[in-house]
Structure formats: C-alpha cells, structure tokens
Structure 1
Amino acid sequence: MTIIKRLERILIQLAIVHFILLILSQVFLEIPSFKMYTNKSIYYEGVINGEREPALETIDR
C-alpha cells in the first residue's frame, strides 16, 4: 500500500469514529437526567437551587 492510501484509510476511519461519537453525544444529551449534569447554563440561571436572589436596584427610591 502506498502512503496516500494508508492516509486515506486512516482519515476515513477517523471520520467514522467521529460520526459515531457525535451521534452518541447527541443521544446522551436528550436524556434529561444526563442533561442536568452536563448543561452548566442551568447553574448560572439558578434553576436548580430554587432560591431567589434579591434583585439589584440601580435607582434609589
């Protein structure tokens, strides 16, 4: 086999592995219990703890 054919075979195998990992990650992100631990935006928005922080007032009244 020439070097080019080996390189093509390796690239095709990497593309197939990448596609499989992409599909698996999308499947895992559809599971709600798994999504809760991987999506960090719910921590920033304060959805998990359920506590309300006092709103900041910018104008004194």
Structure 2
Amino acid sequence: MKSLDSVDYSVGSIIVDDESAIVAFGHNLAYFSSFRSDVHAETVTLNYFEEKNHKS
C-alpha cells in the first residue's frame, strides 16, 4: 500500500521461510523521485533481508 500512497507503481515483494512466515518485505521505489533500477521491489526486499540477517 505504500506504493499506492506514493507516486510509484504499486509493486511489492516478500520473502518467506519454510513455514511461510514473512521474513522480509519491500515495495517499489524505482520511480519515486527519478528512475532508479536498483530499487525495484525485489531488490529492496533482498537488501532488507541481507541487512537484517548480516552476521559479522
């Protein structure tokens, strides 16, 4: 719904675990201020997942 509230296309993405629980989510930011190919919904979701699960 965040994409719908913005000027962006309403595209979302989720990652689920083996038990179908959502472990990461994101939405499209590619057209928010100007076009950026690095912030499509799936990329935003993967970045969130990697940051959340980063182990030093």
The normalised TM-score by structure 2 is 0.29
Greater fraction strand: 2
Q: Whose radius of gyration is greater, 1 or 2?
A: 1
Structure with the largest fraction of helix = 1
Higher RCO (C-alpha under 8 Å, 6+ residues apart)? 2
